[in-house]
Amino acid sequence: MRIAIVGAHGVGKTTLSQKLAIELGLPILPDVAIEAHDKGFAISENTPPEIQFWMFGRQLELERLTGKFIADKCLMDYSVYADILFDDQRVKELLSEMIRRNTKYSHVFYLPIEFPIKNNGIRSLDPEFQKRVNDRYLEILNDWGIEHHTISGSLDDRFNQVLKFIK
């Protein structure tokens, strides 16, 4: 089982992933954005392309080396953010091509924006930026034909919905 929990930053992906990991006995892939932040890289609306490529490469490594997992950050995130952050069409197209070739999940669960963003010291707190990310995520899921389920409600509601789709 390779589960991707997707959506904009601050929608509860990590919280849901942690609860699912316990229930399903699956590892959660490390959050590459936190790893990048810990290394001193800029993780915000100003993230440069070279950092986006580094994070993509690290995510690809984690996903390829881990058989079964839950990802609260997945390869598609890097295409979403590149599309929003960068003007260079070559960067966007290259990332998109590499991501499409390597996106392999048994289940994709999309979380819409339902709650205010909580400050974790890393993510953007700008709700307009969050909405742009959310809208682009939906476009990519649909444009790429990624089968996914929208999960909403409280943490328990989301948890039960995911379990229903998995079992």
**pLDDT > 90? residue 122:** no
Q: What is the CATH number of the domain that holds 9?
A: 3.40.50.300
Task: Quote the number of domains for the chain.
Answer: 1
Range with lowest mean pLDDT among 78-82, 110-114, 141-145: 78-82
Containing structural domain, residue 143: 2-166
Most confident of 42-51, 74-83, 116-125: 74-83
The mean pLDDT of 79-90, rounded to a whole number, is 89
**pLDDT > 80? residue 121:** no
pLDDT at 125: 81
Q: How far is CA 156 from the centre of its chain?
A: 20
pLDDT classification of 159: cutoffs 50, 70, 90: very high
The mean pLDDT of 72-94, rounded to a whole number, is 90
Residue recorded with tokens 């904009």 = 8
As given in the structure block, the two tokens for residue 12 are 């509860």
